[in-house]
Structure 1
Amino acid sequence: MIRLLLADDQALVRGALVALLGLESDLEVVAEVGRGDEVLAAVTRTSPDVALLDIDMPGLDGIEVAARLHAAHPRVRILMVTTFGRPGYLRRAIDAGASGFVVKDTPARELADAVRRVHLGLRVVDPALATETLTAGTSPLTARERQVLAAAADGSAAGVIAERLHLSEGTVRNHLSAAIGKTGTRNRAEAILAARRQGWL
């Protein structure tokens, strides 16, 4: 029996996944959570074999959860199951330790098969997304540029971002300017949108 943890903030989607996967004789959902910051405690409590993680969750996003889970419980396989099939997300998820990446409209039988393959230590990636990722290339943003751009997403002024990230205001402005240039946009708002569309944020 393969023990599963499901993490998705949409209760309806989570319930549907639990029901569909529960129909498989060799799969058992032992935990389900609605927030990213609840995953590690649930893993410690229930010892799943495979964690199915959404990307867009409150508390912690799925990619950050994947990185922390991989570091704390390396034997637990990670399968990203998300609405957001973006090249940047796939690359970041794999870098964070995920073994697989599928989109939520994957047929139930294929999802169950992906879980089994990930459990066996194989890598499973949505074929269309894999092709798109190879042609899109890597993110041009550095880790710090991505961090500053993400901090700017709520509209905070450079001074506020600088204080929050313990940087100088000039450094923040330089990183924002670099991010705008690398995304080929005209301002920080456009840079944020472009980076999100690619899955770089």
Structure 2
Amino acid sequence: MSMNVPARIFVVEDHAYMKEMLREFLSLEDDLEVCDTADSGEAALQHLDEVSPDFVLVDLSLPGVSGIDLIASVKTRHPELPCAILSGHGERRYAEQAIAAGAQGYVLKGDPDELPKAIRLMMKGERYVSKALQY
């Protein structure tokens, strides 16, 4: 990927405020941009193909289809597309379920500086789990 084309991040988040914060925050990074957002798993699956993102960032708690189920569906259709959970839930079992569903990582909300670094690592194929959840 050339340096001047930002990676396209598709954000699936049902809270409008959080969604806008993520959009603004990630757009500050030269190499990242939010290409689109969805506020439910169903909407995300409908838009996924036309958006053609490089990375999908999914809130754990979504109305309807859970974030973990959404990732499983995305990975079925696009096995090579990296996805990660962004969550306020710090229980390790959620991270384990997310990884089992095919997530590249699990990032806790609360440390904004962590997210861009985590996304870059996961886009290189590395697995990323917030420090608070590591063994």
What TM-score, normalized to structure 1? 0.63
Among 88, 102, 114, the alignment partner of 1:110 is 114
Q: What is the RMSD of the two structures over their aligned residues, measured on CA atoms?
A: 0.9
Pairs aligned (count)? 130
Aligned amino acid, residue 111 of structure 1: L
Unaligned runs of 5+ residues in structure 1 are 132-201
Deviations 1:30-82 (A, max 9, x none): 11011111112221111101100001101211000010001111121011101
| Alpha-carbon distance in 2 for matches of 1:119, 1:40 | 20
Among 56, 62, 65, the alignment partner of 2:67 is 62
**What is the CA distance between 1:5 and its match in structure 2?**
0.2
Greater Rg by CA: 1
Runs of 4+ in 1 over 6 A off after TM superposition: none
Q: Indicate the structure with greater helix content.
A: 1
Counterpart of 1:18? 23
Counterpart of 2:83? 78
| Alpha-carbon distance in 2 for matches of 1:45, 1:74 | 17
Q: Is the 8 A contact 2:90 2:132 kept in 1?
A: no
Secondary structure of 2:120's partner? helix
| Alpha-carbon distance in 2 for matches of 1:70, 1:29 | 20
Determine which structure has greater relative contact order: mean sequence separation of CA pairs < 8 Å that are 6+ residues apart, divided by chain length: 2
Unaligned runs of 5+ residues in structure 2 are 1-5
| Alpha-carbon distance in 1 for matches of 2:65, 2:16 | 17
Identity of matched residues, %: 35
Secondary structure of 1:13's partner? helix
Q: Indicate the structure with greater strand content.
A: 2
Say whether 1:53 aligns with 2:52: no
Aligned amino acid, residue 70 of structure 2: V
